[in-house]
Amino acid sequence: MPKYAKSQGEKVVRSSDISILCGIKPDVIRRDFSHFGDFGVRGRGYDIDKLIVQIRKNLGINRKKNVILIGVGSLGTALLKYQGFRTANFNFIAAFDINPKKIGKKIGETIIYNIKEVNSFIEKNKIKIALLTVPTSETIKIINNLDSKYIKGILNFTSTILPARKNNIYIRNIDLARELEVISFCMNRCNI
């Protein structure tokens, strides 16, 4: 969201502006940013360029990160095509699937490999992050098979809710249907 202000030609952004965009109270934003360092301009806000550099550093996205995707169905294909990952410095270096008709094909720049090759690829390219878009029934099998020596983060798009941490791997469960339920809940609560 500081980038949004930047695109409007602004040099500084206030915690109150950020608060409107992300729905977090300004004092919480100020407290959190104070952990990053001292780049606030007293009474004016935050220097946007410094803020972007610091946030990217804290998110670990100041350098390009190679990621892989497993399961190139409809959702997997859409994610591979999504430009937002590239903007955020994530590069889909490879995708993996079990379906022989898909293996060897390309989605954008990303080649689809046989799932059997996933661990040798991970090891060779020192891949730390995987996105999971396989059928729910395959989730546990795939996770248990992934080389936990290298993989340290999984973005799980299947409906199986996995523990946030497993074998020293950070897991984030993204269930798009659940996100709609949250919207529905908030609307109900506010009688919208």
Using CB under 6 A, list all residues that contact ligand ATP.
70-74, 76, 96-99, 102, 115, 133-135, 138, 142
As measured in angstroms, the least distance from the Cβ of 151 to ligand ATP is: 15
The single residue listed with the structure tokens 């997997």 is 76
Q: What angle, rounded to 10 degrees, do the helices at 26-34 and 15-22 form?
A: 110
CA 172, 176, 182, 183 dihedral sign is positive
As measured in angstroms, the least distance from the Cβ of 116 to ligand ATP is: 9
Residue number, nearest CB to ligand ATP: 73
DSSP output for 124-136: HHT--EEEE-S-G
Evaluate whether 113 touches 94 at the Cβ level (below 8 Å): yes
Identity of the residue, 90 or 96, whose beta carbon is nearer to ligand ATP in the bound complex: 96
Identity of the residue, 141 or 189, whose beta carbon is nearer to ligand ATP in the bound complex: 141
As measured in angstroms, the least distance from the Cβ of 76 to ligand ATP is: 6
